């Protein structure tokens, strides 16, 4: 398909289309619910001759990522996808890929982690990987997932760090909507072939993986930090360029009806769609409430978040994840980002939707109404 088109796609198939349009040369994958439709659609593209990548099907997710790293270091554009336990099985190699500065792009379908065994939307799987050195995007819709995968390739290859695009199981992965699929020519212009000057190549004598001294290791981590800092600007540039090409921009931090807001909900992923409905209901009732959606979680857009929440009295953080002994991960990240600013807002951390529990708009309305009437707790509370 060369011309752009509007197709009825679920979130997983939107990701598959993005992978196809990015022209990856190597795609190692292993099936896992609810990620499997991504793999199935990619293999269908490949079987019909519409995708020229080398598709690898190793025996586990650990092996999948172990195959991604050398392929990327050899100069190939690499894509993969996983979910939940698969991502946890990759954990060791996630660190390895980031340290190797391999710009792999991965789609992760957020799903509960065992035990007990379940298949519901929950972001603990990817948030538990926040310190591995991967760029992390969170998507609210199939359209945003398609656009984010393509932007992630551009950002990852510019700063030479791997990137993960996350969307919630079923709420996004299996929800159908009309998705604008750009033409191949448009994507080729946005995402030129990946041709790194530094790569594993016998003809140029490059190598990788040597044992290093303490000083070399420390310097390497500083360079990774600089790359993460650079990723903030690279992500802004990629989103701006994508907007000029397609008319769609998503930002790194989105403010929804925040003008004059005295209370603001902060959330990730599909929860933001429900929160918009709640904000509309609260606004209709005369309550000055807004929504701040964090699309980029790593690198954390600290300054943008501070600006978005400037002058707000109450911040209500909704966490669809759970860190036992800590509470909500996003709550702690937001608190840390706001620490030390002048006249900080009161931050209310609420564990809402953990394990995929449904959180309807009316429930969020009540959570906000209750939160602004009480002093915040230093810990997250179940909601």
90: domain CATH number is 3.40.50.970
Residue 291, in any domain of the structure: yes
Residue 199, in any domain of the structure: no
Nearest to 270 by CA among 368, 139, 164, 374: 139
Classify each residue of 321-349 as buried b or exposed e, where b means 16 or more C-beta atoms within 10 Å of its C-beta: bbbeeebbbbbbbbbebbeeeeebbbbbb
Do residues 43 and 142 both lie within one domain? yes
* Phi and psi at residue 178, to the nearest 5°: -70, 120
Domain count, the chain: 2
Nearest to 80 by CA among 115, 102, 55: 55
Do residues 126 and 235 both lie within one domain? yes
Do residues 341 and 239 both lie within one domain? no
Report strand pairing: 289-294 vs 253-256: antiparallel
Give the CA distances from residue 77 to residues 28, 74, 183, in Å, rounded to whole numbers and listed in that order: 12, 9, 19
Q: Is the pTM of this model over 0.85?
A: yes
Do residues 242 and 294 both lie within one domain? no
pLDDT in the model for residue 209: 83
Query: Listing from the earlier edge strand, what are the strands of the sheet with 263-267?
Result: 253-256, 289-294, 263-267, 314-319, 346-351, 381-382
Do residues 360 and 325 both lie within one domain? yes
Do residues 161 and 42 both lie within one domain? yes
Which SS3 state, helix, strand or coil, does residue 320 take?
A: coil
Q: How many CB atoms lie within 10 A of CB 30?
A: 23
Interhelix angle 361-371/271-284, nearest 10 degrees: 70
Residue 338, in any domain of the structure: yes
Which SS3 state, helix, strand or coil, does residue 70 take?
A: helix
Give the CA distances from residue 204 to residues 68, 73, 199, 294, in Å, rounded to whole numbers and listed in that order: 21, 13, 9, 42
Do residues 28 and 102 both lie within one domain? yes
pLDDT in the model for residue 180: 98
Give the CA distances from residue 27 to residues 161, 210, 252, in Å, rounded to whole numbers and listed in that order: 17, 26, 27
Residue 54, in any domain of the structure: yes
Residue 55's domain comprises: 5-194+209-246
- Two structure tokens written together for 101: 């500065």
Name residue 82's beta-bridge partners: 108
354: domain CATH number is 3.40.50.920
pLDDT in the model for residue 113: 98
Do residues 361 and 237 both lie within one domain? no
DSSP H/E element including 10: strand 5-10
DSSP summary character for residue 202: T
- Two structure tokens written together for 62: 């650990």
DSSP 238-281: HHHHHHHHHS----SEEEES-TT-SEEEEE-TTHHHHHHHHHHH
Do residues 305 and 219 both lie within one domain? no
Do residues 129 and 214 both lie within one domain? yes
Q: Beta strands of 112-258 (E only): which ranges?
A: 135-139, 163-168, 176-181, 253-256
pLDDT in the model for residue 210: 86
112-116 long-range contacts, Cβ below 8 Å, gap at least 24?
Answer: 112/84, 112/355, 112/356, 113/84, 113/85, 113/88, 114/84, 114/85
pLDDT of the chain along its 383 residues, tens only? Answer: 567 999 999 999 999 999 999 999 999 999 999 999 999 999 999 999 999 999 999 999 999 999 999 999 999 999 999 999 999 999 999 999 999 999 999 999 999 999 999 999 999 999 999 999 999 999 999 999 999 999 999 999 999 999 999 999 999 999 999 999 999 999 999 999 999 988 998 898 888 888 999 999 999 999 999 999 999 999 999 999 999 999 999 999 999 999 999 999 999 999 999 999 999 999 999 999 999 999 999 999 999 999 999 999 999 999 999 999 999 999 999 999 999 999 999 999 999 999 999 999 999 999 999 999 999 999 999 99
pLDDT in the model for residue 181: 98
């Amino acid at each position: 398909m060369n011309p752009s088109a509007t197709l009825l796609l679920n979130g997983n198939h939107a990701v598959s289309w993005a992978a196809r349009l990015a022209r990856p040369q190597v795609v190692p994958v292993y099936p896992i619910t609810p990620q499997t439709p991504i793999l199935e659609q990619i293999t269908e593209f490949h079987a019909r001759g519409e995708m020229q990548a080398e598709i690898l099907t190793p025996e586990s997710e650990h092996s999948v990522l172990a195959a991604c790293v050398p392929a990327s270091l050899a100069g190939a554009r690499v894509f993969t996808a996983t979910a939940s336990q698969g991502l946890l099985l990759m954990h060791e190699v996630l660190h390895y890929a980031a340290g190797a500065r391999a710009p792999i792009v991965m789609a992760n379908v957020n799903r509960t982690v065992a035990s007990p065994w379940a298949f519901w939307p929950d972001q603990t799987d990817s948030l538990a990987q926040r310190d591995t050195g991967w760029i992390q995007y969170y998507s609210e819709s199939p359209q945003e997932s398609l656009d984010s995968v393509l932007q992630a390739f551009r950002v990852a290859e510019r700063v030479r760090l791997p990137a993960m695009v996350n969307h919630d199981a079923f709420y996004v992965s299996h929800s159908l909507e009309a998705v604008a699929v750009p033409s191949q020519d448009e994507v080729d212009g946005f995402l030129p072939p990946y041709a790194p000057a530094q790569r594993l190549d016998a003809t140029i004598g490059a190598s990788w993986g040597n044992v290093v001294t303490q000083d070399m290791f420390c310097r390497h981590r500083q360079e990774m930090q600089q790359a993460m800092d650079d990723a903030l600007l690279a992500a802004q540039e990629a989103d701006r360029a994508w907007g000029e090409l397609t008319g769609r921009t998503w930002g790194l931090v989105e403010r929804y009806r925040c003008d004059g807001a005295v209370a603001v909900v902060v959330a990730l992923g599909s929860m933001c769609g429900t929160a918009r409905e709640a904000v509309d209901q609260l606004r209709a009732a005369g309550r000055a409430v807004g929504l701040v959606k964090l699309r980029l979680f790593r690198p954390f857009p600290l300054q943008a978040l501070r600006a978005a929440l400037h002058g707000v009295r109450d911040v209500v953080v909704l966490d669809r994840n759970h860190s036992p002994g800590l509470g909500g991960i996003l709550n702690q990240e937001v608190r840390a980002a706001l620490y030390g600013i002048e006249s900080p807002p009161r931050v209310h951390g609420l564990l809402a939707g953990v394990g995929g529990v449904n959180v309807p708009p009316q429930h969020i309305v009540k959570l906000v109404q209750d939160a602004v009437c009480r002093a915040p707790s230093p810990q997250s509370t179940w909601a």
